[in-house]
């Protein structure tokens, strides 16, 4: 805490109290300290509860729906594979891996602008426009007749989907740190729900529409899953608010002001100006790279699992139709894992420990897939992996959003979370080319899971070291000089900001 001494014309600092596993929910800077005659306004608990409830009703369902359709657009290729796509287009395993990979390449290319331009374009326009484009392109997939056309359309779909991957950044405009992981979990759970829904749709199409109108089932999958986001894009365009400062309906004036105050406490700026120097400055931070290592491993495992899950299950000995159905069970396990571990992370605020514990089942599961051949045991191991791997994204990104502050700095980090890890996701898709046991891919995934576990533990101790160094330097002249700048200018380098552990 910093205080200004008028008689000496100096800013005096006292260390901000923090606990190793708890980030002080309202860190302060010199700009946050009430001036003479000012009193910090007490928040009505009923108002606070009502606002949070309304945000959960207005913001969360809309954004979750966007992610739901985006995940459907990414994972429908895996369902189409076992619904006749490979046979009709005469694709090799390498052709399929390339089709899954090229979508990720496009996401990498367009990820940074797709995240940092959210406030410039406005979320409702950006998200709805992206849904309209990738929905149309998915519908056009029913007309393809060779692998080249498939590659082109998957690249364009990936480019469009890159403009909704900043959803976690958008979520940080509205929720405080103590609420973030749970809401992010609901958002991330859409990936598992969409995967399960894809499996259910593919099962229904496989059994009811295969051959109708002269089309194999995979064409119906792309048609149905392309029309849906196009229709829902209209809802997003008309009802999704851009930011707390631009709420137009559904909230009273008092509620709007409270939402703006909440957003400010989570270190959000009203303006969305991009400071280009800060984009690249994050690449010089050691804790950024530890975050990236954990995220890269998670992307490798998640991408390969979602793209190859029906095929992996079919390799256990199930028929193609039953493989579609059994993917639902795996995705349900992933959804439960997301909600379970994220809720614990918010309740305990022990981000590092929760993330490390969540990775243990993945290590066990991949080891079982490598060395055990029993059908039922391998299926159970796959459920274990989904329970462990799918929570990793929301745990990592919510922890990172708390650790990097300022519009450009936080936005850049969350964008890079979808750039560098996607390179690993590409390698994950390429590693799974030895059916039916996929020994090479599973061995690589086991290595990635261990890397994530080690990086998470190292990150937790490194952030503790940075906190102790800040506490030791609270009284220095350098810290006093830095306090003359705002947290938006300095980001997490501000001497009164402490990291969550």
Q: What is the pLDDT of residues 236-295, one digit of tens each?
A: 999 999 888 888 778 888 999 998 888 877 777 665 567 777 888 899 999 999 999 999
**Residue 42 confidence (pLDDT):** 67
**Residue 226 confidence (pLDDT):** 95
Structure tokens, 121 = 């374009």
- The percentage of residues in the chain with a pLDDT greater than 70, rounded to a whole number, is 90
Confidence of residue 399 (pLDDT cuts 50, 70, 90): very high
Structure tokens, 87 = 């046979």
Dump pLDDT digits (tens) for 83-96: 889 999 999 888 98
Residue 353: is its pLDDT beyond 70? Answer: yes
Chain mean pLDDT for the chain: 85
Return the H-helix or E-strand segment holding 10: strand 10-13
Report the relative pairing of strands 2-5 and 10-13 from DSSP bridges: antiparallel
Dump pLDDT digits (tens) for 296-313: 999 999 988 877 787 788
- The percentage of residues in the chain with a pLDDT greater than 90, rounded to a whole number, is 42
Residue 15: is its pLDDT beyond 70? Answer: no
The model's pTM is 0.75
Dump pLDDT digits (tens) for 355-382: 999 999 999 999 999 999 888 899 999 9
> Tokens 């945000």 correspond to what residue?
55
Q: What would the mean pLDDT of 52-57 be, rounded to a whole number?
A: 91
Taking the C-alpha atoms of residue 419 and residue 110, their distance in angstroms, rounded to an integer, is 9
Between residues 434 and 70, the one the model is more confident about: 70
3 state DSSP class of 82? helix
Q: What would the mean pLDDT of 98-110 be, rounded to a whole number?
A: 89
> What are the φ and ψ backbone dihedral angles of 415, each rounded to 5 degrees?
-70, -45
Taking the C-alpha atoms of residue 173 and residue 488, their distance in angstroms, rounded to an integer, is 14
User: Could you tell me what percentage of the chain is helix, strand and coil, using 3-state DSSP and rounding each to the nearest 5?
Assistant: 75, 0, 20
**Residue 358 confidence (pLDDT):** 97
Considering all CA atoms of the chain, what is the largest pairwise distance in Å, rounded to the nearest integer?
87
Residue 501: is its pLDDT beyond 70? Answer: yes
**Residue 26 confidence (pLDDT):** 36
Dump pLDDT digits (tens) for 420-432: 887 888 888 788 8
**Residue 38 confidence (pLDDT):** 33
Taking the C-alpha atoms of residue 432 and residue 301, their distance in angstroms, rounded to an integer, is 11
**Residue 264 confidence (pLDDT):** 78
**Residue 280 confidence (pLDDT):** 85
Confidence of residue 341 (pLDDT cuts 50, 70, 90): very high
Dump pLDDT digits (tens) for 442-487: 999 999 999 999 999 999 999 999 999 999 998 898 888 888 887 7
Q: Which residues, including other chains, have CB under 8 Å from residue 138's CB and lie 6 or more apart?
A: 73, 76, 153, 157, 222, 225, 226, 229
The closest of 150, 111, 100, 151 to 428, measured between CA atoms, is: 100
Taking the C-alpha atoms of residue 444 and residue 428, their distance in angstroms, rounded to an integer, is 8
**Residue 336 confidence (pLDDT):** 93
Residue 402: is its pLDDT beyond 80? Answer: yes
Dump pLDDT digits (tens) for 185-226: 888 888 778 878 878 888 888 888 888 988 999 999 999 999
Query: What does DSSP assign to residue 435?
Result: T
Q: How far is CA 447 from the centre of its chain?
A: 22
> What are the φ and ψ backbone dihedral angles of 21, each rounded to 5 degrees?
-105, 5
Between residues 53 and 275, the one the model is more confident about: 53
Structure tokens, 334 = 């992933």
Q: Which residues, including other chains, have CB under 8 Å from residue 430's CB and lie 6 or more apart?
A: 97, 101
Residue 493: is its pLDDT beyond 70? Answer: yes
CATH tag, 45-241+275-478: 1.20.1250.20
**Residue 11 confidence (pLDDT):** 38
**Residue 23 confidence (pLDDT):** 34
* DSSP structure string for 196-233: HHHHHHHHHHHHHTTTGGG--HHHHHHHHHHHHHHHHH
């Amino acid at each position: 805490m910093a205080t200004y001494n008028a008689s000496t014309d100096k800013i005096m600092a006292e260390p901000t109290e923090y606990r190793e596993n708890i980030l002080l929910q309202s860190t302060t800077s010199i700009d946050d300290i009430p001036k003479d005659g000012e009193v910090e306004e007490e928040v009505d608990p009923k108002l606070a509860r009502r606002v949070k409830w309304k945000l959960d009703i207005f913001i969360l369902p809309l954004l979750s729906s966007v992610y739901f359709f985006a995940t459907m657009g990414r994972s429908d290729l895996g369902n189409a594979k076992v619904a006749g796509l490979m046979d009709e287009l005469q694709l090799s395993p390498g052709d399929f891996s390339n089709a899954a990979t090229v979508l990720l390449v496009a996401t990498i290319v367009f990820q940074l602008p797709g995240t940092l331009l959210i406030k410039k374009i406005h979320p409702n326009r950006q998200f709805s426009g992206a849904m309209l484009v990738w929905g149309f392109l998915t519908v056009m997939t029913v007309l393809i007749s060779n692998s080249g056309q498939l590659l082109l359309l998957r690249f364009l779909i990936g480019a469009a989907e890159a403009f909704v991957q900043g959803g976690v950044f958008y979520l940080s405009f509205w929720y405080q740190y103590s609420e973030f992981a749970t809401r992010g979990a609901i958002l991330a759970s859409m990936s598992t729900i969409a995967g399960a829904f894809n499996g259910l749709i593919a099962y229904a199409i496989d059994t009811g529409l295969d051959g109708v109108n002269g089309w194999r089932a995979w064409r119906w999958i792309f048609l149905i899953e392309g029309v849906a986001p196009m229709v829902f894009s209209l809802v997003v365009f008309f009802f999704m608010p851009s930011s707390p400062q631009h709420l137009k309906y559904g909230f009273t004036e008092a509620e709007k002001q409270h939402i703006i105050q909440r957003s400010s406490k989570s270190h959000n700026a009203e303006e969305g100006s991009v400071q280009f120097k800060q984009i690249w400055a994050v690449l010089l931070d050691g804790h950024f790279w530890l975050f990236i290592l954990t995220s890269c491993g998670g992307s490798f495992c998640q991408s390969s699992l979602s793209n190859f899950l029906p095929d992996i299950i079919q390799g256990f000995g199930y028929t193609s139709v039953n493989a579609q159905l059994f993917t639902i069970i795996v995705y349900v396990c992933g959804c439960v894992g997301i909600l379970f571990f994220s809720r614990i992370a918010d309740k305990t605020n022990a981000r590092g420990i929760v993330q490390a514990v969540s990775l243990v089942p993945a290590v066990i599961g991949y080891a079982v897939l490598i060395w055990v051949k029993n059908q039922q045991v391998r299926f159970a191991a796959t459920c274990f992996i989904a329970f462990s791997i799918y929570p990793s994204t929301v745990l990592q990104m919510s922890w990172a959003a708390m650790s990097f502050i300022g519009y450009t700095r936080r936005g850049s980090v969350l964008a890079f979370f979808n750039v560098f890890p996607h390179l690993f996701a590409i390698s994950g898709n390429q590693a799974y080319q030895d059916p039916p046991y996929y020994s090479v891919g599973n061995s690589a995934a086991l290595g990635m899971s261990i890397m994530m576990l080690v990086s998470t533990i190292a990150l937790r101790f490194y952030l503790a070291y940075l906190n102790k160094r800040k506490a030791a330097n609270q009284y220095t002249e350098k810290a006093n000089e830095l306090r003359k700048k705002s947290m938006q200018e300095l980001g997490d380098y501000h001497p009164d900001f402490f990291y969550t552990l």
